Amino acid sequence: MREENTEENLVIAMKKWTALLLALLLSLLCGCKQESTAEIFAMDTVMELTVYGPDAAEHTAMAAETVRRLERKLSVTDESSEVARLNAGETVTLSDETAELLRRGLALREETGGALDPAIYPVVRLWGFTTGEYRVPSGAEIAETLEEIRSGTLSLKENTAAVQGIQLDFGAVAKGYTGAVLAEALKAAGVTSALLKLGGSVQTVGTKPDGSPWRIAIRNPAGDENAYLGILEVGETAVITSGGYQRYFVEDGVRYSHILDPASGYPADSGLSSVTIVSEDGLLADGLSTALYVMGLEKAEQFWQSRSDFEAVLVEEDGTIHVTEGLEDCFLCDEFVVIRR
Ligand code: AMP
Ligand code: MG
């Protein structure tokens, strides 16, 4: 009797252990495969936020809420946002995030010789790029608005800011900054793999769940939305593209794009059709994608040579692709020209 009991107990115990092991294995496998995507429309673009790993759905929900929170602060059209209140003439105590964006935006204006100018909003409005009510302003209107900006003032003491004559638009840096904030928040929550697409801005976290690099397609500015020039294989970084094709209107056969040259007040006409920046610093990548597009190939190349915090893919209007040295091994396409330092 006793012997039988012992045998039975042993079988029961083994079954329990097997079941436990199986459950553990299954949960591990499911954990690896877990994936969640939030598709939202925010900051005037479609965003696709994908998180891999355990609790992926919770993490994507948190990411989407973070985007909304930043949008509520930075939107130029939402009257209650910090930026809209500032633009309306109020003295505003900015949140740390908006103050950081402003400080870094102004620093980038200096560094890029004014090619990126967060104070350019009055000109952006003149062309109707905010509302979608596009029009070609007269030369006099543009000159007058530029003069107002030049003689305008901005004061920033600690986080208290006020503007006069100028108005701010963080459209050229907000998505890259948001991607960077999301990546930090997700990593702090334990996420090791995420692909965050914020319109033309991509931010990755870690690697793909299987440990291989992310493959980010660079769109062909001359083709439709499915045409691409090549693929960048990257680890954790921001990959951000600016191009006239992303938003424009046509009047009397002339194409007017949303990236403006702050020096002239007219759409940048630098001979480039797109600029992609790869950098671990999302805000920098976004700011420079816009600035280098304004600068044109030669100045962009010189600018790249003077720094070591980003790499770039520059596409000329005739289709020539220039890839900086740091991307040589990870940009895969049929034909490209390599810029060397
Ligand atoms: P992006 O798509 O990052 O190149 O940013 C373009 C957006 O930034 C435009 O839609 C405008 O709202 C704004 N913008 C256009 N030109 C400039 C400029 N030169 N400097 C700063 N912001 C700009
Ligand atoms: Mg940009």
Residue 330: per-residue pLDDT = 83
In order of 93, 98, 278, the CA distances from 63 in angstroms are 25, 18, 22
User: Which chain residues have CB less than 5 Å from ligand 2, an ion?
Assistant: 172, 242, 286, 289-290
Tell which residue, 158, 183, 176, 20, has the closest CA to residue 92. 158
SS3 206: strand
Instruction: State the closest ligand 1 atom to the C-alpha of 129, by its place in the atom list counted from 1.
Output: 10
Ligand 2 centroid to residue 171 C-alpha, Å: 7
Residue 322: per-residue pLDDT = 93
Tell which residue, 143, 157, 170, 181, has the closest CA to residue 264. 143
Residue 24: per-residue pLDDT = 53
**pTM greater than 0.85 (yes/no):** yes
Ligand 2 centroid to residue 115 C-alpha, Å: 11
How far is the C-alpha of 326 from the C-alpha of 96, rounded, in Å? 33
Relative to the alpha carbon of 274, which ligand is closest? 1
pLDDT in tens, 30-54: 544 499 999 999 999 999 999 999 9
Relative to the alpha carbon of 287, which ligand is closest? 2
How far is the C-alpha of 257 from the C-alpha of 243, rounded, in Å? 8
Ligand 1 centroid to residue 34 C-alpha, Å: 36
Angle (nearest 5°) at CA 218 between 215 and 221: 165
Q: Could you identify the residue written with the tokens 């049929």?
A: 334
The protein residue with its alpha carbon nearest to ligand 1, atom 4, reads 290
Residues of the chain whose pLDDT is less than 70?
1-33, 334-341
Structure tokens belonging to residue 115: 């090619």
Q: Could you identify the residue written with the tokens 């985007």?
A: 67
Ligand 1 centroid to residue 286 C-alpha, Å: 10
Residue 200: per-residue pLDDT = 84
How far is the C-alpha of 101 from the C-alpha of 259, rounded, in Å? 19
CB-CB contact of 179 with 196 (8 Å): yes
